[in-house]
Amino acid sequence: MFDLLGSAAGAAVVFAATDVDDIVILTLFFVAARTTGRPRPGQIVAGQYLGIGALALASAVVAAGLLVVPDPWTGLLGLLPVALGVRALLDRDDDETPAVVGGTLGVAGVTIANGADNVAVYVPVFRALGPADSAVFLLVFVVLIALWCAAGAWLGGHPRVVRLVERAGHWLVPAVLVAIGVVILVTSGVVGALLDLAR
């Protein structure tokens, strides 16, 4: 029997568990939006929806057996935040918070790269769900993305956070992006797979 509340609670747990690190990235994006004007708040929200939507769609396609994704190779997406972080570090102005992405697609790209590991969680979940439960999961995701963006905007507008990022943003923002990319590369197993290929 279809359990609406149970499905909604399950979706909320899955989303929160896989996207808690997105709050940090969203906060940095919103601080950059306040201090540099790029990306604009609307682009951050649109990019977040686009990125998580792409991850959910890819997971549904894989769960349906229409596409096979070799596990560790999705970890190569970790190179995107590393590249953005290194670029921001090289282009930095010591007095400014770097705008690491300029628009919706940049935000979506970082969201997808940061959420590559989400696919490993989403796929078995979508395989186990029926159509009604899947619809509830997606609806809850839509609502929680808005909540995540609101939390990131609130943190990104908090005076202490803004002061911290303004004071240390020229190295903090790139460092966070590089750290996220390295974690993705290491935890995905892609580094081990590349070393095995080199042998």
pLDDT of residue 97: 58
What angle (nearest 5°) sits at the alpha carbon of residue 53, between those of residues 24 and 188? 60
Q: What contacts 137, CB < 8 A, 6 or more positions away?
A: 7, 10, 11, 14, 125, 126, 129
In b/e form, how buried is each residue of 52-70, taking b as 16+ CB within 10 angstroms?
bbebbebbbebbeeeeeee
Could you tell me the maximum CA-CA distance found in the chain, to the nearest angstrom? 59
pLDDT of residue 45: 95
pLDDT of residue 1: 43
Helical packing angle, 104-114 and 159-188, nearest 10°: 50
Q: What contacts 130, CB < 8 A, 6 or more positions away?
A: 2
Both structure tokens of 39: 């990306």
Amino acid at 197: L
pLDDT of residue 93: 58
Return the closest-CA partner of residue 83 out of 97, 69, 95, 101: 101
Both structure tokens of 160: 């202490």
Burial class (CB within 10 angstroms; exposed 0-12, middle 13-18, buried 19+) of 156: buried
Q: Is 95 helix (H, G, I), strand (E, B) or coil?
A: coil
- What pTM value is reported for the model? 0.76
Q: How far apart are CA 71 and CA 69, in angstroms?
A: 6
pLDDT of residue 146: 95
Helix (H) and strand (E) counts in the chain: 9, 0
pLDDT along the chain (199 residues), means of 10: 75 84 86 85 94 87 69 71 79 59 87 77 80 86 94 89 74 79 77 75
Q: What is the DSSP letter of 64?
A: T
Q: How far apart are CA 10 and CA 160, in angstroms?
A: 34
Q: Is 107 helix (H, G, I), strand (E, B) or coil?
A: helix
Residues 119, 53 contacting (CB under 8 angstroms): no
pLDDT of residue 173: 73
